[in-house]
Structure 1
Amino acid sequence: MGLAVAALSAPAAAQAPATPEQLAQTRAIVGNTVARPQTLVLVDVPRATGKARALLNGRDLAGWHPWLGYPDPSVTYRNQPGATSIGTTRDTAGDFAIRRIDGRPALWVKGETWGALVHDADLRDYHLRLHYRWGAKRWAPRLGQPPNNGLLYHTHGAPGAVFGTWQPSVEFEIMQGSTGMAVAVGRDVRLRTTAALDPSLVSPPVRYRVGGAPVEIVNGTLIWNVENARDAERPAGQWNTLDLYVLGDRAVHVVNGVPVMVVEGLATVDAAGKRTPLTHGSVQLQSEGAETWFRDITVEPIDRLPKVVAKE
């Protein structure tokens, strides 16, 4: 790969400001154009081609399967020899549960032990909508950092294949300030978008931009994620609405009605370098250090994607 951060895990790189070398390497990929604010509008929104389906029944976690990573989350990105995932070996009622909040049932994710809830449906060509809000609790090793979670889609492969904690997938990031960011979860995952340089960001200093330079997102390289076009999250304690539109190997991320990311070319790459389009899979909801609530998770079939238009 030949990049300065190739040997670093994605989160390890994310904690460090972009170095002059990383900025120079990023400029070699996206050019010197600095990301200016864009007003992005979602138009030509598709109508559902079939009946909507609720993924949460409001009573229990039927259809969802938990997986937990390491007892000590701080070893997650260290590839520590001998570390063993909890997996499914303990009861997870204290990690994931249906509880009431704001007068309604919702999915509660404690966040202390990292892992995920994985839904058993194999989804393709759909619009997924959910509502989330942050709880009050934060856990080591993420104390003092922005609360972090994620909606992972086109999930495939073995439980715990990624850092002993998640399955390979594409991530619609849920993180304060970065909700809608696109992340490649797993070394076999590839996705493309367009971006411009944003030196204000920690590494990688790239932000989604309509009409920007084409980039490929690959875990373990300099461009392991691309930041959202803008922060559209509501203040802590309020409910947020996420819309994920997926059609084949393309997707659009929308936060509170604001489109913030468009990705395409979703694929897996095998050991021989063969690229296979990634067009379907299950969804995961992460547990990654922050108490989080989810409700009203629905999917409906679509046959086209909405368009994202930039107004400067």
Structure 2
Amino acid sequence: MYPRQLLVVLLLVLLATFSVPAVGSAQQWRPLLDKDLSNFEVWMGIPHSSVTGLPEGTYQSENTTKGTPMGLNADVKNVFSVSEIDGEPVLQISGEIYGGLTTLEEFQDFHFSTQFRWGDKKWPPRIDRLRDNGILYHCTGKHGTFWKVWKSCIEYQVQETDLGDLFALGGTSAAVRIRGRKYDPLSDVYLEKGNAISCAEPDAPHGEWNHLEIYAIGTTSVHVANGVVLMVLEDLKLRGKPLSHGQIQIQSEAAECEYKDMKIRSIEDFPPEIKAQMRLRDTETP
């Protein structure tokens, strides 16, 4: 009897070993931030002519969208840095030079979550404009495709009073139900190309944390801020072909800001509370 009991125990252990990770893999959060930004690479764009302290020969211009970018891992002014605050890593973005903090890994079918807040400082060429930033996802292709800085991607806009707007960069597109230019889940009119405005503005007061989330399954995604569904995007494409995966980029765009508790997990479907607020295009054939 003893050898048989031992065999049963060993079989149960083996089954548990192979089955538990498969169950947990769709729900386990993966932190993206650490003190060394080891999950990212940095692409720096074109410094404004007002930026000082750059290496001799660095191209600078009043027009930061044309010319020669600084390039990959050339963040000589530490535009992107990490500090430990209250025991956790906080990404600090000075905004002084346009840039993109880009995940080394590509992601598909995911739930991205982070905390975000504005700092005070602004820089040229946006010194007199709203503070601006963005979370870019399904990023693909070459660095610097858009404005010599960012990849082709779908942008979750992070701007004062404009959380969760859609910006389609570098040949991407999305279908969004709109009334005017604003997302409206009850509308039967679709924006098929261009940019769209989110349906609400649930921004926290300046200097306070906002909870920003992106859900993406296949070629559909959902923008959420502070628990409010801001926009549902369908039929994501890059130059007419389905777009369902890619890297994630965090922008530097002339405004000081911070991110913390940045994490991602795999999902197989939209959660019920999100699904209940989604009205997708009918894809059934007659």
TM-score category by the smaller chain? Answer: 0.7 to 0.9
- Distance in 1 (CA, whole Å) between partners of 2:117 and 2:134 is 12
Find the counterpart in structure 2 of residue 292 from structure 1: 257
Write the letter of the residue equivalent to 1:152. L
Identity of aligned residues (%): 32
Find the counterpart in structure 2 of residue 239 from structure 1: 209
Stretches of 4+ aligned residues off by more than 4 angstroms:
101-104
Write the letter of the residue equivalent to 1:189. T
Distance change >3 Å, CA 165–CA 128, structure 1 → 2: same
1:66/1:92 contact within 8 Å kept = no
Distance change >3 Å, CA 260–CA 247, structure 1 → 2: same
From 25, 39, 51, give the equivalent of 2:28: 51
The Cα RMSD (Å) is 1.8
Find the counterpart in structure 2 of residue 262 from structure 1: 232
1:101 deviates by 4.4
When normalised by structure 1's length, the TM-score is 0.73
Find the counterpart in structure 2 of residue 140 from structure 1: 124
1:21-68 per-position Cα deviation (integer Å, ceiling 9, x unaligned): xxxxxxxxxxxxxxxxxxxxxxxxxx98232111112x2210111111
Write the letter of the residue equivalent to 2:41. H
2:229/2:277 contact within 8 Å kept = no
Which fold has the larger relative contact order, with Cα–Cα distance below 8 Å and residues 6 or more apart in sequence?
A: 1
Q: What secondary structure is seen at the aligned counterpart in 1 of 2:192?
A: strand
Distance change >3 Å, CA 228–CA 62, structure 1 → 2: same
2:41/2:73 contact within 8 Å kept = no
Structure 1 position 66 matched with structure 2 position 66: no
From 186, 208, 212, give the equivalent of 1:211: 186
Find the counterpart in structure 1 of residue 284 from structure 2: none
2:111/2:267 contact within 8 Å kept = yes
Distance change >3 Å, CA 301–CA 234, structure 1 → 2: same
Point out where structure 2 has 5 or more consecutive residues left out of the alignment.
Answer: 1-23, 49-60, 279-286
In the TM superposition, what are the counterparts of 1:10-25 in structure 2 within 5 Å? none
Aligned length: 239
1:236-272 per-position Cα deviation (integer Å, ceiling 9, x unaligned): 1101101110001000000000000100110111xxx
From 150, 168, 174, give the equivalent of 1:166: 150
When normalised by structure 2's length, the TM-score is 0.79
Find the counterpart in structure 2 of residue 6 from structure 1: none
1:64/1:118 contact within 8 Å kept = yes
User: Whose Rg is larger?
Assistant: 2
